[in-house]
């Protein structure tokens, strides 16, 4: 390489269910900066993507390299920050060929670069397949762990509106939002208000504004009655109920009657 300028790249997973294998972006950057310092590199830029596909991340790297020809080294923490499929890996090879760069993967201790002979290309391809296999196995283990957690009544995702997660992921009532959820159910269960009317009542009486779609999400969510859906299966949760099952059932009947659609239980994974 003609110089020692490097681009640091970090990416967080969009899929919350895989977050266990993913370090926060700033933590990734801390490790990357240490690596750069140890190898005498000068950090020219840091690109961190909170939520994107691998392909879009590569496009952003390519755009930066195109306008900064002095930077020809990209450093990422591990292979799964750059690609999740062999198709993505082919795109990485194209990136390396187009810009004549090298990509350093700190965790694996690998350097991906333009190679001249077939043996080196084969070795690089074998690494890509091994990394892809590792990612697949990791996904399977995470899903298996989530299923075990769900079967024990512990919701594997983020707590919905009305709750908060504390130490060890335990889900408890939110000190403010829990009562808002109760008001939403009790007022709607009375049969005397519509979604729009309920929206206005919340804003007038509680000073809290929620969109009609958000209120609908809350009213459809069986989580508040002590159940939850995970990967198509319904489980009984150990989290505190905010409403009774009978109130939940009454609300579903009212929704079905007013919206002319069958009842569907949804799990809202947004905090």
Is residue 54 within 8 Å of residue 79, measured between CB atoms? no
Distance CA 137, CA 59 (A): 27
Domain boundary among 101, 124, 149: 149
Q: Over 90: is that where the pLDDT of 32 sits?
A: yes
**187 in any annotated domain:** yes
235 and 197 in a single domain? The answer is yes
Please give the average per-residue pLDDT across 119-132, as a whole number: 63
Count of CB atoms within 10 A of residue 271's CB?
Answer: 13
> Given this model, what pLDDT does residue 216 score?
93
Name the helix (H) or strand (E) containing 43. Answer: strand 42-49
**Percentage of the chain exceeding pLDDT 90:** 42
Choose the weakest-confidence range: 4-18, 96-110, 237-251. 4-18
The token duo for 178 is 């829990």
Choose the weakest-confidence range: 78-92, 99-113, 216-230. 78-92
Q: Over 70: is that where the pLDDT of 1 sits?
A: no
89 and 195 in a single domain? The answer is no
Strand ranges of the sheet holding 5-11, from the earlier edge strand across to the other edge: 42-49, 5-11, 73-76, 102-105, 110-112
What is the pLDDT confidence band of residue 57, given thresholds at 50, 70 and 90? confident
Distance CA 61, CA 161 (A): 36
Count of CB atoms within 10 A of residue 213's CB?
Answer: 9
Q: Over 50: is that where the pLDDT of 44 sits?
A: yes
128 and 171 in a single domain? The answer is no
Query: What's the distance, Cα to Cα, between the start and end of the chain in Å?
Result: 46
Distance CA 72, CA 2 (A): 8
């Amino acid at each position: 390489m003609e110089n020692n300028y490097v681009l640091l790249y970090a990416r967080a997973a969009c899929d919350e269910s895989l977050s266990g294998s993913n370090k926060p972006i700033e933590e990734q950057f801390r490790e990357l900066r240490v690596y750069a310092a140890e190898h005498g590199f000068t950090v020219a830029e840091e690109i961190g993507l909170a939520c994107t596909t691998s392909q879009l991340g590569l496009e952003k790297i390519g755009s930066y390299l195109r306008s900064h020809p002095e930077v020809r080294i990209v450093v990422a923490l591990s292979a799964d920050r750059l690609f999740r499929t062999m198709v993505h890996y082919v795109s990485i090879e194209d990136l390396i060929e187009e810009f004549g760069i090298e990509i350093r993967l700190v965790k694996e201790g690998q350097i991906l670069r333009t190679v001249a002979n077939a043996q080196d290309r084969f070795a690089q391809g074998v690494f890509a397949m091994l990394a892809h296999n590792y990612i697949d196995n990791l996904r399977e283990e995470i899903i298996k762990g989530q299923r075990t957690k769900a079967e024990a009544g512990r919701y594997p995702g983020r707590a919905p509106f009305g709750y908060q997660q504390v130490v060890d992921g335990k889900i408890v009532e939110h000190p403010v939002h829990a009562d808002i959820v109760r008001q939403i159910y009790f007022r709607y269960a009375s049969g005397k208000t519509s979604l729009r009317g309920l929206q206005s009542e919340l804003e007038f009486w509680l000073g809290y504004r929620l969109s009609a779609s958000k209120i609908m999400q809350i009213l459809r969510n069986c989580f508040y009655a002590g159940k939850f859906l995970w990967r198509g299966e319904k489980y009984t949760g150990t989290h505190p109920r905010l409403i009774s099952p009978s109130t939940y059932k009454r609300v579903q009947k009212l929704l079905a009657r007013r919206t002319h659609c069958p009842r569907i239980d949804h799990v809202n994974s947004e905090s």
